[in-house]
């Protein structure tokens, strides 16, 4: 990952990543009940390296805000807290999905990815493939 240009850029990146994590938590909690360690591993699969000290306060805050509700069960002799979305959480997720769709449309769909800088290797590959095409055409 490239270094950010400024401390302000780093703060914005952290805020956006934490917002992505919250949406991810809502998404999974709407599908089925979730628990902390499971979500740390799920988020890791998507490139988010979160500690329990970051994730659990997010889950607790989302519960305090009424968008998640929890239940406790004993699993293998330990108490595990499971989270599901509430009606408010489901409504929020629907609103977020609409906003995310708008954002993706504006930010990604209307702006093609930057063109890669040319280097000697891609030029050689293009020339070699043209030679192969010309050779194959002449061989017919």
> To the nearest whole number, what is the mean pLDDT of the chain?
82
Rounded to an integer, the average pLDDT of 50-54 is 94
Domain 7-115 belongs to what architecture?
Answer: Orthogonal Bundle (1.10)
Measured CA to CA, the distance from residue 25 to residue 17 in angstroms comes to: 12
Angle between helices 52-64 and 7-31 (to 10 degrees): 60
Query: Where in the chain are the domains?
Result: 7-115
HEC profile for 51-96? CHHHHHHHHHHHHHCCCEEEEEEEECCEEEEEEEECHHHHHHHHHH
Query: What would the pLDDT profile of 86-139 be if each residue is shown by its tens digit?
Result: 999 999 999 999 999 998 888 887 666 666 554 444 333 333 333 334 444 444
In this predicted structure, the answer to whether residue 30 has a pLDDT above a threshold of 50 is: yes
In this predicted structure, the answer to whether residue 22 has a pLDDT above a threshold of 70 is: yes
């Amino acid at each position: 990952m490239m270094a950010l240009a400024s401390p302000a850029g780093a703060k914005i990146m952290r805020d956006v990543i934490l917002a992505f994590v919250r949406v991810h938590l809502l998404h999974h909690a709407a599908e089925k009940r979730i628990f902390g360690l499971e979500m740390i591993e799920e988020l890791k699969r998507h490139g988010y390296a979160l500690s329990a000290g970051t994730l659990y306060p997010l889950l607790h805050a989302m519960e305090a805000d009424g968008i998640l509700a929890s239940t406790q069960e004993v699993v293998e002799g330990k108490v595990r807290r499971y989270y599901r979305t509430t009606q408010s959480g489901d409504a929020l997720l629907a609103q977020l999905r609409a906003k995310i769709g708008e954002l993706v449309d504006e930010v990604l769909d209307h702006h093609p990815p930057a063109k890669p800088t040319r280097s000697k290797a891609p030029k050689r590959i293009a020339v070699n493939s043209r030679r192969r095409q010309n050779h194959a055409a002449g061989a017919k």
